[in-house]
Chains A and B, each alone.
Chain A
Amino acid sequence: MRQGAPDAGRVQLSAIVQFESVGLRYGTGAEVLRDLDFTLSRGSFYFLTGASGAGKTSLLKLLYLSQRPTRGRIRLFDQDLSDAARDSLPHLRRRIGVVFQDFRLIRHLSAYDNVALPLRIAGRDEEEINSAVREMLDWVGLGDRSGARPATLSGGEQQRVAIARAVITQPDLLVADEPTGNVDAEMAKRLLHLFGALNGLGTTVVVATHDLGLIASNPAAAIMRLDSGALVDPTGLLRNPPQVDRREARP
């Protein structure tokens, strides 16, 4: 994905997310994010890194529409969010898969029902939901624990349920906050493989992580590094989004 200079045979990948001079503050405090200018390209893979407190989770919140910026402009799926009606947000959110750092599973629902939730919200029929959820739970190695409630699952198992829930709709944008923090190396590898497979299907993936091994395992990914709320662009791919051959460009 790390591309050379543009040339006539190449086109710029379409932008899925654009930040322009974005800043975020909570209440009257200091800005936790400032002057963010970047573009995320459709079908690309990004790692978001930075020290604790650098603003990674805040940036992810902006990406998954849990927070509005206090200044600047965000475009998501070709829609300007600064003037987007509140009623339009749910439909945008359905195109985003989120793996929360604290999993945020619904505690009184089984693993099956937690994973089925996005499909039910999207109004899919139960037959379709059943096959998709069974397949996904098998894939994350929890096929035999589909009836278990989160409280009876280990941290790693809960994380896998959260990941299954995030990817089951094959979202256009996948945002994951430390998705491998609670799983062993083997499962981390499998999950990264899953993210890679989704990315191959056209999903833009943004993974916030401290795990250098995880970053090293995908050298093609772009790296976004946050430092005290400001974005550092070591790969240069954020300000100059990657380009691909026209044949590869997705519609």
Chain B
Amino acid sequence: MILDRIWRSRPEARLLPAEGLHGPTVAVMAMMSFVMIVVAAAGLALANAAGVVVSATQSRYVIELPATSASDLPRAVAAARAVPGVRNVVAVPQSEMRKTLERWLGDSANSPDLPIPSMATVELAPGARSATVASAVQATVPAARISAESAELKPLLGSLRALQWLALALVLLMTIATAAAIVLAARGALDTHRPTVEIMHGIGATDRQVTRLFERKIAIDAIAGALAATVAASIVLLLIGAGASAAAADLAWWSPFAARDFLLLALIPIAAVIIAVAVAHATLLRALRASL
């Protein structure tokens, strides 16, 4: 490997045998970084989905009339349109209502005996108040009720937010697990090379000189693992993304990731390497200070 050659090229690097790249640190780093990237990607996709739902519903309201007042829908729509700040009012056709109900009721949804409420969707301009619309509509049709679309989606949004927090917690847990694995790897490397370390100390090497050797080795292992994880995670995310796009072709306007998200995901393996090196540095110095 190229990294192996770079590692071997420096004379002092020969102090430690170069089998590190085939050791467990690479595999541990690769697995941990892979899971971190995929979980973080899932969290970001959920956050983006929640954002899309919120922005799509936050200015939208529904006027609902009971079946007994269904004939008053045109008057209610006209009253709503007359209110300043109302961008658009669209009456939902009865046929569409029945079509929707068909999913649950089957052919019975088309029965004339079935009472079907009447509905219209209202879109407000920013700053417009829904209470003003409600007053105007209810002054014309007292039976009308106005509700926010976002209120209907509140439980769904709550679940999405909980999943985002779960993803963040998982990334943090994986970070801690990575740090713990690096602590064990650093201690293991130190134990394996204890005779070399003792000789170097005896000849006058400082703790920093000894630490640098192991640090460089762990950094190369960590970089190799993080690179492998990045490649694997990219492939997995591309495949999932392609599948999702095909399944939701009508949602072409929605992308699970923004440019900022790709930057964040790219930072994860870099952060993992930095954390690995910092943890190794602290662990090695601490272990070396226990000796004379």
Chain B residue numbers with a CB within 8 Å of A190 are none
Residue pair A104, B202 in contact (C-beta under 8 Å):
yes
The contact of A66 among B14, B202, B207, by CB within 8 Å, is B202
> Is A118 in contact with B195, judged by CB distance below 8 angstroms?
no
Proximity bits, A91-118, B CB within 8 Å = 1, else 0: 1111010101000111111000100111
Chain B residues, Cβ within 8 Å of A65? 292
Query: DSSP class of B's interface residues: helix, strand, loop or mixed?
Result: helix
**Does A126 have its Cβ within 8 Å of any Cβ on chain B?**
yes
Interface size on A, residues (CB 8 A): 31
Contacts of A90 in B (CB 8 A): 201, 204-206
Find the residue from A87, A93, A120 having the highest chain B CB count within 10 A: A120
CB pair B200–A109 under 8 Å, yes or no, is no
How many A-B residue pairs lie within 8 Å, measured between CB atoms? Answer: 60
**CB closest residue in chain A, given B288:** A86
* A93 with B11: CB separation less than 8 A: no
CB distance from B156 to the nearest CB of A (A): 60
- In the bound assembly, the distance between CA atoms of A113 and B13 in angstroms comes to 11
Does A64 reach chain B (CB closer than 8 Å)? yes
Size of B's binding interface in residues, CB under 8 A: 20
Given known contacts A109-B14, A126-B11, is B203 in contact with A117 (CB within 8 Å)? yes
- Minimum CB–CB distance from B4 to chain A (whole Å) comes to 15
B289 on interface, CB distance cutoff 8 Å: yes
Which chain B residue has the least Cβ–Cβ distance from A104?
A: B199
Min CB gap B204→A, angstroms = 3
- A152 at interface by CB-CB < 8 Å: no
Q: B32 to chain A: closest CB distance in Å? A: 29
In whole angstroms, how far apart are the Cα atoms of A116 and B212 in the complex? 18
CA distance A96 to B289 in the complex (A): 21
Q: A93-B202, A98-B202, A116-B11 are in contact. List 14 more A-B contacts (CB 8 A).
A: A66-B202, A86-B292, A90-B206, A92-B204, A93-B203, A104-B195, A104-B199, A105-B199, A108-B14, A113-B11, A113-B14, A118-B204, A120-B12, A121-B209
